[in-house]
């Protein structure tokens, strides 16, 4: 019978202890609001504040980021490495759009890129145009 009354008392004590005192809460809020302005943006893309291009939107709907990142090699080359290797011209846009659709290997090592036959040629070209726009030469 005593345990029956002890449990609510212990739970109540824990609840009140978790609430804390009122005198320090103002100081904690002030220090928290100061650190809110110093957000860590190291994982945010440098172009995050710009509107997405059609190519970016199309890539976001696909599995591109499973193997590719904008600035670092993952399974496949980074988008910036691709943009650095291929000049932004109609011939390369067409060639790389075919590569996206058909897949393949050999240009960046032996790991094969899977085919994306569900992507239209026009959409693949838009994606390539975005990738090639990432070149520092452009």
Binding-site members are: 64, 68, 113
On whether the CB atoms of residues 134 and 68 are closer than 8 A, the answer is no
List binding-site positions for heme c: 64, 68, 113
Gap between the terminal Cα atoms of the chain: 80
On whether the CB atoms of residues 121 and 56 are closer than 8 A, the answer is no
Cross-strand pairs, 104: 113
On whether the CB atoms of residues 113 and 102 are closer than 8 A, the answer is no
């Amino acid at each position: 019978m005593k345990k029956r009354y002890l449990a609510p008392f212990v739970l109540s004590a824990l609840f009140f202890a978790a609430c804390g005192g009122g005198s320090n809460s103002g100081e904690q809020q002030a220090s928290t609001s100061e650190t809110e302005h110093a957000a860590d943006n190291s994982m945010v893309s440098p172009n995050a504040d710009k509107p997405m291009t059609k190519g970016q939107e199309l890539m976001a709907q696909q599995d591109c980021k499973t193997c590719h990142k904008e600035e670092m090699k993952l399974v496949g080359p980074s988008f910036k490495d691709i943009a650095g290797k291929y000049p932004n011209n109609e011939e390369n846009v067409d060639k790389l759009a075919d590569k996206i659709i058909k897949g393949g290997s050999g240009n960046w090592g032996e790991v094969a890129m899977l085919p994306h036959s569900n992507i239209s040629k026009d959409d693949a070209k838009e994606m390539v145009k975005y990738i090639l726009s990432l070149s520092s030469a452009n």
